[in-house]
Structure 1
Amino acid sequence: MKYSPVLDRLSGLGGAKWEIHAHARARARQGHDVIELTIGNPDVAAPAELVEAATAAMRAGRTQYSSGRGEEGLREALAARYTESAGRPIGADQVLCFPGTQTALYAVLMGLAEPGTEVLVGDPMYATYEAVVAASGAALVPVPLRPERGFRIAAADIAARITPRTRAVLLNTPHNPTGAVLRPEDIDAIGRLAVAHDLWLIVDEVYEELVFDGVAFTSPLARGDLAERVVVVSSISKSHAAPGFRSGWCIGSAAFTERLLPLSESMLFGNQPFIADMTALAVSGPSEVAAGMRHRFAARAKYLAERLTQETRLRVHRPEAGMFALIDVTATGMSDRDYALDLIESGVAVMPGSAFGQSLAGWVRVALTVDDGRFRRACDRIVTHANAKCRIGA
C-alpha cells in the first residue's frame, strides 16, 4: 500500500517528542507520586462566565454549521480587539477562525510554504513547529536563540540564514519555551529584513496576555509598513485558561485571508458557533484569569531560580512571560533526556530541552502551572536530586 509523502515528512514529529510526559503519566497510573511539570495546562479553570456563555449558546441552538471564515460576531470582536491593540484599522475580513492556534498555524504554513522553500524558525522552538513546517514540504532552517540575548531572536542571525529559497520567518513572542519577549527594536530590524527580502512574518502570539510585570509586549501587526506580510495566530487557550475549547484564529491582510479561505474551508469550515459566541465574549475585554496567572507564574519562576541558585550548581533562566522556566542541567554531567528520565525516579517530570531544538540541549523546561504547595515540593526534589548527581559527576 502507498502513502502520501507528508506522512514520511511527519514521521517522528508527533507524540514522540512527548516521550517523557507519557512516561511520567504511566508512572503516575502505577501509583507513583510524580509532580508533573511537563505541559502548559493553566492552573485555573476557564472562567465560569465563558462556560455559561457556551452552554447558553448550545441551549439556544447555536450548534449548526458555521461560516467558513468563522462566526461574524467573533470576527467582529477580534477585529475590534486588534484594531485597538495594533493602533490601526483591522477589519473582520482580515480574520479567519480555527479550532486552536495549532490548526491556524498549520493552515497558514500550508498556504504560504511549499517544497523547495525554507522557513526560518528560532531554535529552541515550540515542539510542533517542526511538524507544521514539514507538513508543507518546506525546509525548516533553525536560527539559534542565544542565552546571552535572553533567548530573543536576533535579526543578524536571521539575515545570515536567508537564501533565495527563504519564504517566511516564524516568530513566537512571547516565546515558548524560553519566555522571551521581542522588543520594538527587534521587530524593527526583523521587519526591515522581511521587506528587503520579500518575506512573510508569521507570528504566534498565544502568550500575549501572560507577559510579566516590567516587560512590554509589541506585535509586528502594529507596524503599518508590514501590514501586507504579517500573519498573527493566537487563541484563548492560555489567556483564558481554555485550551480544551480549541478556539483560535489568524489575522492577516484581507488579500491573505481571501486566498487562505478555500484551504480553511476544505479543512474544517469555520469553528463551532457556540464556542465562537463564548470566544467573542472572551476577547471583548481583558481576561479575568490572566493577571492571576501572570503573578503566580512569575513568583514560581523567581522561587525556582532562588532555590536552585542558592542550593545547587544548576542555573535557571527566568522567563519574561508565559508558563515555563528553563534549567541548565549540564552541571550534572547528564544529557537533558537522561536527566529528565532520572528525575522522574525522584518524583518530578520535566521536558528535556532537546525536544524543542538542539540549541536547548543540556537544558530542561519546567512548567510553572502546578499549585504552590506541589511546586515547592517539586523544587525540594529537584534540589535533592541535583546535589546527589552533581556530587557523582564532580
Structure 2
Amino acid sequence: MRYAPILDRLSGLGGAKWDVHFAAVEMKRKGRDVIDLTIGNPDVPAPAALIDRAAEAMRAGRTEYSTGRGEETLRAALAARYARRTGRPVGMDQVLCFPGTQTALYTVIMGVAEPGTEVLVGDPMYATYEGVIRASGAVPVPVPLRSENGFRIAAADIAARITGRSRAILLNTPHNPTGAVLTTEDIDAIGAVAKAHDLWILSDEVYEELVFDGVAFVSPFDRTALADRTVCVASISKSHAAPGFRSGWSVSSADFAERLLPLSETMLFGNQPFIADMTANAIAEPSAVAAGMRTRFAARAKYLDERLAQETALRVHRPEAGMFALIDVTATGQGDRDYAFGLLNESGVAVMPGSAFGGTLKGWVRVALTVDDSRFRAACDRIVAHAAGMAEGERA
C-alpha cells in the first residue's frame, strides 16, 4: 500500500520525544512515587465561571454548527482585545478561530510555506514546531538561541541563515522551553530583517499573560510597520488554565485571514459555539487565574535556582515567563537524556531532556513549575540528593 509523503516527513516527530514522560506515567501506574515535572499543565483548574458559562451555553442550545471563521461574538471580543493591545483598529475580519494554538499554527504555516521553502525557528523550540513546519513540506532552519543572550533569538543569527528559499520566521514569545521574552529592540531588529527579505513573521503568543513581574510583553503584531506581515496565534489553554477546551485563534491582516479561510474550513468548520461563548467571556477581561500562576511559577523558579546554586554544581536558567525552568546538567558529565532517565529511575523525578527541544539544549533539562509547592520542594530535595550521589560516585 502507498502512503502520502507527509507521513514520512513526520515520522519520529510525534510522541517519541516524550519517552521520559511516558516512562514516568508507567512507573506511577505501577505504584512508584514519581514527581512529574515534564508536562506544562496549569496548576489550578479552569475557573468555575468559565465552566458554568460553557454549560449554560450548551443547555441553551449552543451546540449547532458554527461559521468557518468562528462565532461572531468571539471574533468581536478578540478584535476588541487586540485593538486595546495595539492601540489601532482591529476588525473581526482579521480573526479566525481554531481548536487551540496548535491547530491555528498548523493552518497558518500551511498557508505561507510549501515544499522547497524554509521556515526559520529558534533552537530550542517547542516540541511540535518541527512537525508543523515539515507537514507543509517546508524545512525548519534552526537558529541557535544562546544562553549568554538569555535565550532570546537574535536578528543577526536569523539573517545569517536566510536563503532564497526562506519564507517565514517563527517566533515564540514568551518562549517555551526557556521562558525568554523578546524585547522591543529584539522585535524591531527581527522586523527589519523580515522586511529586507520579504518574510512572514509568525508569532506564537500563548504565554502572553504569564509574563513575570518586571518584564514587558512585546508582539510584532503591535508594531504598525510589521502588522501586515505578522500572524499571531494564541489560546486560553495557559492563561485561563483551560487546555482541554481547545480554544485558540489567529489574528492577522484581513487579506491573510480571507485567503486562509478556505484552508481552515476544510479542516474544521468553525469552533464549537458553546466553547466560543465561554472564550468570549474569558478574554473580555484579564484572566482570573493568570496572576496567581505567574506569582507561583516565578517563586518556584527562584527556589529551584537558589537550592541548586547553593547545594549542587547544577546551574539554573531563571525564566522571565511561562511554566518552565532549565537546568544545565553538563557538570554531571552525563548527557541530558541519560541524566533525565537516571533522575527518574533513581530518584522518582521526571524532567524533559533538553535535546527533545533541539540541539542547542543538549546538556540541559526542562523542569515544569506546575506542581504544588510541597511536591516541588520535595522534587528539589530529590534533585539535590541525586546530584550529591553522583558526585560521591565520581569521588569513589
Number of the residue aligned with 1:149? 149
Which residue is 2:189 aligned to? 189
Whole-Å separation in 1 of the counterparts to 2:394 and 2:328: 15
1:364 aligns with 2:359: no
TM-score, normalized by length of structure 1?
0.99
Q: Distance in 2 between matches of 1:391 and 1:7?
A: 47
Report deviation, 1:228.
1.2
Q: Which amino acid aligns with 2:259?
A: R
Change in Cα spacing, 1:265 to 1:23, as seen in structure 2 (3 Å) is: same
Distance 2:328 2:390 in 1: 14
* Offset, 1:393: 3.9
Aligned to 1:380: 381
Alpha-carbon shift at residue 226 of structure 1 (Å):
1.0
Counterpart Cα distance in 2 of 1:86 and 1:40? 28
- Amino acid in structure 2 at the alignment position of 1:3: Y
Letter in 1 for 2:186: D
C-alpha displacement of 1:350: 0.3
Match status 1:135 vs 2:135? yes
Shift of 1:204: 0.2
Matches within 5 A, 1:319-330: 319-330=319-330
Is 1:93 the equivalent of 2:96? Answer: no
> In the aligned structure 2, how far is the partner of 1:393 from the partner of 1:350?
23
SS of residue matched to 1:285: coil
1:75 aligns to what? 75
* 1:116 match: secondary structure: coil
Look up the match of 1:4: 4
CA distance in 2, matches of 1:220, 1:227: 7
**Native 8 Å contact 1:333 1:393 kept in 2:** no
Q: 1:391 deviation in Å?
A: 3.4
Counterpart residue number, 1:44: 44
One-letter code aligned to 2:59: R
Amino acid at match of 2:221: L
Residue identity in the other structure for 1:284: A
* CA offset digits 1:178-217 (Å, max 9, x no partner): 0000000000000011111000000000000000001010
Q: Which residue of 2 aligns with 1:290?
A: 290
Shift of 1:388: 1.3
Question: Contact (CA 8 Å) 1:143, 1:161: kept in 2 or not?
Answer: yes
Q: Does the 8 A contact of 1:122 with 1:153 survive in 2?
A: yes
Deviation at 1:390, TM superposition (A): 2.9
The corresponding residue for 1:331 is 331
Q: Which residues of 2 match residues 118-133 of structure 1 at below 5 A? A: 118-133=118-133
Q: Match for residue 249 of structure 1?
A: 249
AA at the equivalent of 2:40 = G
In the comparison of the two structures, how many residue pairs are matched? 394
d(CA) in 2 for partners of 1:390, 1:203: 42
Query: Which residue does 2:28 correspond to in 1?
Result: 28
Structure 2: distance between partners of 1:134 and 1:24 = 29
> Offset at 1:389?
1.3
Structure 1 position 162, deviation (Å) = 0.6
Q: How far apart are residue 227 of structure 1 and its match?
A: 1.6
User: For residue 296 of structure 1, what is the amino acid of its counterpart?
Assistant: R
Q: What amino acid sits opposite 2:353 in the alignment?
A: P
Give the corresponding residue for 1:226: 226
Q: Deviations over 1:159-185 (max 9, x none)?
A: 000111000000000000000000000
Q: Secondary structure at the match of 1:310?
A: helix
8 A contact 1:94–1:253 mirrored in 2: yes
* CA distance in 1 between partners of 2:287 and 2:227 (Å): 26
Kept after mapping to 2: 8 A contact 1:120/1:166: yes
| Aligned-partner Cα distance in 1 for 2:325–2:89 | 36
- Secondary structure, counterpart of 1:227 in structure 2: helix
Question: Match of 1:237?
Answer: 237
Determine the C-alpha separation between the residues in 2 that align with 1:70 and 1:220: 24
SS at match of 1:321: coil
Listed one character per residue, the Cα deviations across residues 4-62 of structure 1 (whole Å, up to 9, x for unaligned) are 00000000000101111001000000000000000100000001100000000000000
Distance 1:301 1:41 in 2: 16
Q: Report the 3-state secondary structure (helix = DSSP H, G, I; strand = E; otherwise coil) of the residue aligned with 1:228.
A: helix
The letter of the residue matching 1:212 is: F
Distance in 2 separating the partners of 1:106 and 1:225? 25
Return the alpha-carbon distance in structure 2 between the equivalents of residues 87 and 187 of structure 1.
17
What amino acid maps onto 2:372 in structure 1? D
Amino acid at match of 1:333: G
Secondary structure of the 1:334 match is: coil
Unaligned runs of 5+ in 2: none
Which SS does the other structure have where 1:97 is aligned?
strand
Distance 1:203 1:264 in 2: 18
**Could you tell me which residue of structure 1 aligns to residue 260 of structure 2?**
260
Structure 1 equivalent of residue 306 of structure 2:
306
Distance 1:163 1:88 in 2: 34
Alpha-carbon shift at residue 387 of structure 1 (Å): 1.5
Cα distance in 1 for partners of 2:394, 2:40 equals: 31
Q: 1:358 Cα shift?
A: 0.4
CA–CA separation in structure 1 for the residues paired with 2:213 and 2:156: 28
Q: Which amino acid is 2:391 matched to?
A: C
Percent identical across equivalent pairs?
Answer: 76
**What is the rounded CA distance, in whole Å, between the counterparts of 1:89 and 1:390 in structure 2?**
59
CA distance, structure 1, for counterparts of residue 246 and residue 194 of structure 2: 31
Q: Distance in 2 between matches of 1:387 and 1:113?
A: 49
Could you tell me how far 1:392 is from its partner in structure 2? 2.8
Q: Is the 8 A contact 1:54 1:274 kept in 2?
A: yes
Answer yes or no: is the 8 Å Cα contact 1:332–1:393 preserved in 2: no
Q: Which residue of 1 aligns with 2:316?
A: 316
In structure 2, distance between residues paired with 1:123 and 1:149: 13
Q: 1:171 corresponds to which residue?
A: 171
Query: How big is the alpha-carbon RMSD for the aligned residues of Structure 1 and Structure 2?
Result: 0.6
